[in-house]
Amino acid sequence: MSYQCISVAEAKELMDNNDVCVVDIRDQTSFRQGHIHGALHLHNGNIGQFLADADFDKPLIVCCYHGHSSQGTAAYLVGQGIEEVFSMDGGFEVWKTQFDVEIS
């Protein structure tokens, strides 16, 4: 089992056509300034609870700044038993140039 890297366009299509979970691993300030609509801010302080509550059969998209750090997190989440995990190439920096963002 391993994760897959997908483009922001592929991630958007997956989100539009499926029930997916999106997690954003950027720092809290960056997350508050803008994130993918419905994304969960995943960090060291809440990852245990996230794993306890996660639907391991639901596709999961991991987002970071540029699509690099998300790969390590995606690999970790696959190792925890989540079956379908995607790392978004280009990260939030590419997403925000193409799609709407949510500010919290």
Smallest Cα–Cα separation from 41: which of 73, 5, 66? 73
**Active-site residue identified among 5, 21, 63, 64:** 64
Is 21 assigned a catalytic role? no
Smallest Cα–Cα separation from 69: which of 21, 1, 23? 23
Dist. CA 86–CA 100, nearest whole Å: 20
Residues with a known catalytic role: 64
